[in-house]
Amino acid sequence: MKLDFAVVADYALVDQVGKISVLGMYQHIWVQQFPAMHPRLHLVLRLRGKRTEIGEHHVQIRLLDEQDTEILGGNGQVTFAEPPAGVTDIEAAAVLVFDVPFPHAGPYRFEILVDGERQATVPLTVALLPPPR
Provide mean pLDDT across the span 88-107: 92
The predicted pLDDT at position 112 comes to 97
The predicted pLDDT at position 82 comes to 81
SS3 content of the chain, % helix, strand, coil (to 5): 0, 70, 25
Q: Whole-number mean pLDDT of the chain?
A: 93
Give the span between the Cα atoms of 65 and 73, in whole angstroms. Answer: 12
Task: Spell out the domain ranges in the chain.
Answer: 2-85+95-123
Q: Does domain 2-85+95-123 have CATH number 3.30.70?
A: no
Give the span between the Cα atoms of 66 and 14, in whole angstroms. Answer: 31
The predicted pLDDT at position 79 comes to 83
Provide mean pLDDT across the span 82-105: 89
The predicted pLDDT at position 87 comes to 81
Give tens-digit pLDDT for 20-73: 999 999 999 999 999 999 999 999 999 998 888 988 999 999 999 999 999 999
pTM of the prediction? 0.90
The predicted pLDDT at position 8 comes to 97
The predicted pLDDT at position 133 comes to 84
The predicted pLDDT at position 23 comes to 97
Coil, helix or strand for 62? Answer: strand
